[in-house]
A and B are shown apart, each in its own frame.
Chain A
Amino acid sequence: MNRIDLKFKRLKAEGRSALITYICAGDPTLHITYELVLELERSGADIIELGVPFSDPIADGPTIQRAAQRSLKHHTSLSDILELVRKIRQKSQVPILLMTYFNPVYQFGLEKLARAAAGSGVDGFIIPDLLPESGREISRILRKHKVDPVFLVSPLTSSKRLGMINRNSSGFVYYVSVTGVTGARAGLPRDIAQRAPELKKMIKKPIAVGFGVSAARQVAALSAWFAGVIVGSAIVSIIEKNIGKKDLVAKVGRFVKSLKS
């Protein structure tokens, strides 16, 4: 069992859902990302997603696009981020997934990346522009190195595809709550209550829900239906507003604590 499986198992025993937090690595610097990851864990994040910036993030809204741009300004690379995770691992065993697009992964080399990721202590990959049918090779290679490929499900995914996505994913399955890009939204999609039971019938792994979740009451409501709730843009937006300020890390920590209340 890797860190992700262990975490979901423990949370299930405690009757809790996982709070999964996303930040973009290198936004504003890799050193602050290091501090942020430790602070996120202290503040109650159960799993961390680290964004690997890409020049053309088609699944992301403006908030995360800007974060990627800030990070790319100082040429943050996948190698830098693997090195960062290695450093984090000396202090923390919080499950960490890298979220990025397929091109940086492909240029790194699939086999080389899987080996390096496992060696650094990365637990999984989320690649929103990679469908399971296009990602058979990388899934096989990642699994060989005990790194989880996490595939995504959308509100429009057919039940036939749900089975296929279930088979190809390890760790958990990422449910994109709305048709759209990442970014904070005020309400919750109305169909989520109806959709959850069908998803659970077809998907035999923990399901984490993300896109548009930004407030404690959304987290609480979604935790009733899903094994994990993902918050991204709302956190990135706090980072953005506090760049250059001394209490950036503390402010992010306070916000994450507030999500659990």
Chain B
Amino acid sequence: MLPDKNGYFGIFGGKYVPETLVPALEELAAIYRQVKNDVVFKKELHYYLTTYAGRPTPLYFAKNLTLLYGGAKIYLKREDLAHTGAHKINNTIGQALLTLRMGKKRIIAETGAGQHGVAVATVAALFKLQCDVYMGAEDIERQKLNVYRMQKLGTKVIAVTSGTQTLKDAMNEALRDWVTNVRTTHYMLGSCAGPHPFPLIVRDFQAVIGREAKKQILRVEKRWPDYLLACVNGGSNAIGLFYPFYNAKKVKFIGVEAAGAGMNKPHTAATLSKGTIGILHGAKSYLLQDKDGQVSPTHSIAAGLDYPGVGPEHSYYKYTGRAEYVSATDQEALAAFDLLAQQEGILPALESSHALAYLRKLAPKLDHNKIIIVCLSGRGDKDMEQLKEKSNIKMTIYDPK
């Protein structure tokens, strides 16, 4: 069973944090161990996931997209239909219940695209917790709508102006806040990254995606899928889909990273494809860095994929060959966005669009009897403003003559 008791997935993971955080991480691990198999906790979690978050989310057969590509059958796991518009709510409900059990009254979080931030702000309102969310100033600019949503939910959004002003720096600032206020505050980390036990806890709360997909695909197809496809940066939606299939060795995992303007360009966010092993934000994992160990700036059109690290379990999957990691550029993601909108009437998040982009390479070369499940991790409403600025929207003017 991974991680081991010290939080390692093979050589990846662990706990690389200031001493001040040790008691809080130990407390969190202990509470989680206690409740993990506790019937009351499981019932409570199930209650909120079903009555509040709208689970189970559908597994939708994308007929038009399948016909268009002319190869494997494509199913979409519709996390975009979960409350708040992305898979992030699965984790925040779980961690909110842990926060209540620890008796802490304040939560903090980092956010990139704002999807995790909105999910945190949502549970903060629901469970009456004080909430501060750190967000890079550049991301605030890209994802204004989500900033406004958080504020309406009663959360204070704190702009981070240090470093690259994106997710990495928001996480630095959240960690600094946590070191300072750790006695009263829970850090609600949003991805399967960070120090142990976060990668374990976030993975377990997100694994509901894969567990549902398993049941749903068996019901309609009477067999396992051949491929699971998800976008990866921190990698929580991907690990959530992959993990329950871990022992089904015939099911291939493909994670799609953000290549930004292209893999030959200096700045991407393709950590697993271009990174080397290093230590950032509490864990040993692949990392985009220079030869001196300074963390590299990243670029992706998707604010939620713009992080130079990756969850340690993905590093382990790559290292052991359990999963394959590929990449999609900004342009490929934008094309996939448009295609899903036109073919299926679904606006995907720019993050999820990276997973969809890889379908063009994968689906056509597979037989009709093969099955791909794509994690449609979030909806694209939040991206409309950013997209609008990029393109001149053509209006059809009604002319009565």
Note whether A and B form a binding pair: yes
The answer to whether B292 touches A107, judged by C-beta atoms less than 8 angstroms apart, is yes
Q: Find out whether the CB atom of A179 lies under 8 angstroms from the CB atom of B179.
A: yes
B183 nearest in chain A by CB position: A179
Contact mask for chain B residues 223-237; partner A; CB cutoff 8 A; 1 contact, 0 none: 000000000000000
Separation in Å of the A252 CB from the closest CB of chain B?
25
Interface residues on A, range: 35 or more
A-contact bits for B1-44, CB 8 A (1 contact / 0 none): 00000100000001111111011000000000000000000000
> CB-defined interface of B290-308 with A at 8 Å, one 1/0 digit per residue?
0111110000000000000
Q: Does A179 lie within 8 Å of B292, measured CB to CB?
A: no
A57 CA to B163 CA, complexed, in Å:
11
- In the bound complex, residues from chain A placing their C-beta under 8 Å from that of B19 are 128, 131, 151-154, 157, 161, 165, 176
The 8 Å CB contact of B163, one of A56, A61, A128, A158, is: A56
> Of the 9-residue stretches B137-145, B200-208, B278-286, B333-341, which lies at the interface with chain A?
B278-286
Complexed CA–CA distance, A206 and B295 (Å): 34
Q: Are A72 and B294 in contact (CB under 8 A)?
A: yes
The complex places the Cα of A107 from the Cα of B277 at a distance, in Å, of: 9
**For B172, what are the chain A residues with a Cβ–Cβ distance below 8 Å?**
56-58
Q: Given contacts A129-B16, A131-B15, A176-B19, are A103 and B293 in contact (CB under 8 A)?
A: yes
For residue B197, give the distance in angstroms from its CB to the closest CB of chain A: 15
B279 engages A176 (CB within 8 Å): no
- Contact status B180-A103, CB under 8 Å: no
Please measure, in the bound complex, the distance between the C-alpha atom of A40 and the C-alpha atom of B13, giving whole angstroms: 40
Residue of A nearest to B173 (CB): A58
Judge if B182 is at the interface, Cβ distance under 8 Å.
yes
- The answer, yes or no, to whether B343 is at the interface (CB within 8 Å) is no
A75 to B19, CA, bound (A): 29
Within 64-118 of A, Cβ neighbours of B (below 8 Å) are at 65, 72, 75, 77-78, 101-108
Closest residue of chain B to A107 (Cβ to Cβ) is: B293
Residue of B at shortest CB range from A108? B293
With CB as the reference atom, state the residue of chain B lying closest to A72.
Answer: B294
CB nearest to A151 among chain B residues: B19
Q: Is A157 in contact with B14, judged by CB distance below 8 angstroms?
A: no
In the assembled complex, the Cα of A252 lies from the Cα of B279 at a distance in Å of 34
* A56–B19 alpha-carbon span in the complex (Å): 17
With a cutoff of 8 Å between Cβ atoms, the chain B residues found around residue A29 in the complex are none
The B-contacting residues of A in range 105-161, CB under 8 angstroms, are 105-108, 128-131, 133-134, 151-158, 161
Alpha-carbon gap, A128 to B292, bound state (A): 18
Contacts of A72 in B (CB 8 A): 294
Question: In the bound complex, do residue A58 and residue B18 qualify as a contact, i.e. CB atoms below 8 Å apart?
Answer: yes
Chain B residues closer than 8 Å to A75, beta-carbon distance? 292
On whether the beta carbons of B292 and A180 are closer than 8 Å, the reply is: no
A134 in complex: contacting residue of B15, B175, B181, B294, CB < 8 Å: B15
Nearest neighbor of A130 in chain B, beta-carbon distance = B16
Residue of A nearest to B297 (CB): A55
Would you call A106 and B180 a contact (CB within 8 A)?
no
Q: Which chain B residue shows the least CB distance to A175?
A: B19
Chain B residues closer than 8 Å to A8, beta-carbon distance = none
Per the bound structure, the CA–CA distance linking A176 and B295 in Å amounts to 26
Q: Which of A15-38 contact B (CB under 8 A)?
A: none
Chain A residues within 8 Å of B15, by CB: 131, 133-134
A78 touches B292 (CB 8 A): yes
Out of B17, B169, B295, which one reaches A129, CB within 8 Å? B17
Query: Interface readout for B171-205 with A: 1 if CB under 8 Å, 0 if not?
Result: 01001100111110000000000000000000000
Decide yes or no: A58 and B281 within 8 Å by CB, A102-B16, A106-B293 being known contacts.
yes
B88 at the interface (CB under 8 A from A): no
- Chain B residues with Cβ under 8 A from A176's Cβ? 18-20
Distance (whole angstroms) from the CB of A111 to the closest CB of chain B: 16
- Whether the Cβ atoms of A104 and B294 lie closer than 8 Å is yes
B295 touches A181 (CB 8 A): no
Asked if B289 is at the interface of the complex by the 8 Å CB criterion, the answer is yes
B165 to chain A, nearest CB (A): 13
A152, B292: Cβ atoms under 8 Å?
Answer: no
A175 to B193, CA, bound (A): 28
* Most chain A beta-carbon neighbours within 10 Å: one of B18, B179, B282: B18
13 chain-A/chain-B pairs, Cβ below 8 angstroms: A56-B168, A58-B179, A61-B176, A103-B278, A105-B293, A108-B293, A128-B18, A133-B6, A151-B19, A156-B22, A157-B22, A161-B19, A179-B182
Residue positions of A touching B, CB distance < 8 A: 54-59, 61, 65, 72, 75, 77-78, 101-108, 128-131, 133-134, 151-158, 161, 165, 176, 179-181
The 7 closest A-B pairs by CB, nearest first: A107-B293, A154-B20, A104-B293, A180-B180, A103-B293, A55-B294, A58-B175
Q: Using a CB–CB distance below 8 Å, which chain B residues touch chain A?
A: 6, 14-20, 22-23, 162-163, 168-169, 172, 175-176, 179-183, 278-282, 287, 289, 291-295
Q: A56-B172, A102-B16, A129-B18 are in contact. List 12 more A-B contacts (CB 8 A).
A: A58-B18, A58-B172, A107-B293, A129-B16, A130-B16, A134-B14, A156-B183, A161-B22, A179-B179, A179-B180, A179-B182, A181-B179
